Chains A and B, each alone.
Chain A
Amino acid sequence: MSSSNPSDSSAPSGAAVLATAPALRLDGIRKVYGTGENAIVAVDHASLTVGGGEIVALLGPSGSGKTTLLSIAGGLLAATEGTVVVGGEDISGHSPRELTEFRRSKVGFVFQSVNLVPFLTAEENLLVVSELAGARGAARKQARTRAKELLAELGLSHRAGNLPAQLSGGERQRVAIGRALFNSPALVLFDEPTSALDTKIGEQVMELIQAEMRSRGTASVIVTHDTRMTHYADRTVRIVDGVLGLADAAGDVSGDH
């Protein structure tokens, strides 16, 4: 369902969503590459709030700045200006080390292309998150249990021991979703999760994302250029030339940042 009359890209649309604490708050985000005459503004004073459990589609053409904004929200990239708060944690001033820890524990990622470690099985690709956190003993055992549960929920129990190369494109994305959800993050960021899939599999993956996010009450931002995928979101926000606005069903911008 896309929002038809949003007046503010910072405001979640549903009452239920508004009742919960925001999972993500971007305030006046600006990202500039280069300096002086060569400066390129990738994101220009973007503000966006995503409520707990809300699914937001970030729609925009190639080069519009949507992935840059997603990267800033996920602590992969530092903003030139502005404030980023994820799950109540202000990461704007975080050091690279703190951002690494933040990415490991507070946010989940599903990327466009490289999503799985090729030499790890499906189960190990989930476990790698806890291994990176240094899980030992009981924690490692718990992680194994959780990985098996997640794979079962995603219908991949029979594929637990398979390497990514032995999985279909849809299965790989499902494993990636499982990895993103492994640490029960407040926010999961999807970067063009269906771009490498055909329409049918893409829709299945979007249905899965919607179902998994809803069942867990996990907020998510889904970057896409495909308007057909926006109806899986609670709200669609359009970005053009780094400027964030709200979009109607057709994707036209109806408001400024």
Chain B
Amino acid sequence: MFLALSEMRRAKVRFGLLAGAVGLLVFLILFQQALLTGLVNQFIGALKNQSADVLVFNAQARKNLEGSIILPDQAAAIAAVEGVDVAAPLGEGTFTVLAGGEETDAVIFGYELGGPGAPTTLIEGRLPEVGGEAVASSRNAADGFDIGDTVTVVPNPGGTATTFTVVGLAREINYSVSPTLFTDFAGFETARRAVNPDATQVLPSVMAVRVVAGADPAEVADAITAAVEGTEGLTRQQAVDESPGVASVRQSFSVILLLFYLVVPLVTGLFFLIVTFQKAGALTLLRAIGSPAGPLVRSLLIQVVAVVLSGAVLATGLFWLASLGGGGGLGITVEPMPVITTTLVVLVLALLTSFAAVRRVLRIDPIAATTGAGVQV
């Protein structure tokens, strides 16, 4: 500790610059991760944060909510599959609505009140209890979707305008990066008929399934797929992960993140390797006057930890500043777990890449102190 801290105290600029570089790179990792989470939540937060254990799509829809409908006989068959406790309709559609005095596009989900498919991240107000009430995405509260606001579906010619009153706000329930409302299925039907007055029947997009207590949702989903022709059962997580577009977005971000996760420890490892070369004379002297290799290695590792943690603190600060701006409307927020996890991963990788420097320290031969020609490391 004595050696490590003394050196860092006397070389503030050098170590400060490294901590700054690590901080910027960790900030980029945190920001990219948050951006990915924000994007996913904006695209399919509604699927992620609803209460159904299993969502059953039309098999031809290829896991795309917009292209899926469930026929009545399929709905009945799904309800009869073993392991299904409740199977309820869940409708989804994009509508032009009047909110806050302006026309805008909004996604409306219709679920059976009290059944599966209800939003799970309510942060203010309450869930709808009667027809005409809705929970809105909290991100859009200021755009005419706040509690007490009314949102009117703009009808097509021949249709009848239908209005919802926002009674609750839920976090991360957007769909397709649009303001999103969760209302009862009857309300969803009304909205459909407002834009398509000639519709004879409004079918659910998917079936929202709650499995019986103790049942494995994945097994139930597979059982539904096998038992009900033309359907594809997915767990909630599968529906999120396999949603069209999301997987490729995740893959692209993963490549970028992987590069960052490699660069940070490599930069740290190289820095400490160079520093070890530069102070080889001092290290040799210390070995010659009786320092075991252990304290010198410990000193090096303490510096690695100090640099990475300082960088992480800087990164967290920058991340917090960035979150104040909202990350371009993607709702980037500072959450402790991603920060802690990222810091730990970077720290472990940095310690691993410092192995080369550690090896150099261990290879120092104290006899080199007598040569005056530097150190054989």
Could you tell me which A residues sit within 8 Å of B by CB distance? 67, 70-71, 76-77, 97, 100-105, 109, 111-120, 124, 127-129, 131-133, 163, 179, 191
A128 and B2 contacting across the interface, CB-CB below 8 Å: yes
Q: What are 24 A-B residue pairs whose CB atoms fall within 8 Å in the complex?
A: A67-B370, A71-B370, A97-B292, A100-B290, A102-B290, A103-B290, A103-B366, A104-B289, A105-B290, A109-B288, A111-B370, A116-B285, A117-B282, A118-B282, A119-B6, A119-B11, A120-B3, A127-B2, A128-B3, A132-B286, A132-B289, A132-B291, A132-B292, A163-B10
B residues less than 8 Å from A102 (CB atoms): 290
Least CB distance, A238 to chain B, in whole angstroms: 19
Q: Which residue of B lies closest to A129 (CB)?
A: B289
Instruction: Judge whether B281 is part of the interface by a CB distance below 8 angstroms.
Output: yes
Q: Which listed residue, B279, B281, B282, B370, touches A191 by the CB 8 Å rule?
A: B370
Question: Which residue of A is nearest B285, CB measured?
Answer: A114
Chain A min CB distance to B295 (Å): 6
Q: Which residue of A lies closest to B373 (CB)?
A: A113
Q: How large is the interface on B (under 10, 10 to 19, 20 to 34, 35 or more residues)?
A: 20 to 34
Does B328 make an interface contact (CB < 8 A)? no
Cβ of A43 to closest chain B Cβ, rounded Å: 14
Known: A117-B282, A120-B6. 19 other contacts (CB 8 A): A71-B370, A101-B290, A103-B288, A109-B288, A114-B281, A114-B282, A114-B284, A114-B372, A116-B285, A117-B3, A117-B286, A119-B6, A119-B10, A124-B2, A124-B6, A128-B3, A128-B291, A132-B286, A132-B292
A97 to B291, CA, bound (A): 10
Chain B's nearest CB lies how many Å from the CB of A253? 23
Q: How far is the CA of A127 from the CA of B5 in the complex (A)?
A: 14
Residues of A contacting B282 with CB < 8 Å? 114, 117-119
Does B369 interact with chain A (Cβ within 8 Å)? yes
Q: How far is the CB of A34 from chain B (nearest CB, A)?
A: 16
Give min CB distance, A116 to chain B, whole Å: 7
User: Are A104 and B284 in contact (CB-based, < 8 A)?
Assistant: no
Chain B nearest Cβ from A36, distance in angstroms: 23
**B285: chain A residues within 8 A (beta carbon):** 111, 114-117
Q: Which 10 pairs show the lowest CB-CB distances between chains A and B?
A: A104-B290, A113-B372, A103-B290, A114-B281, A119-B10, A131-B2, A117-B282, A132-B291, A119-B7, A112-B372
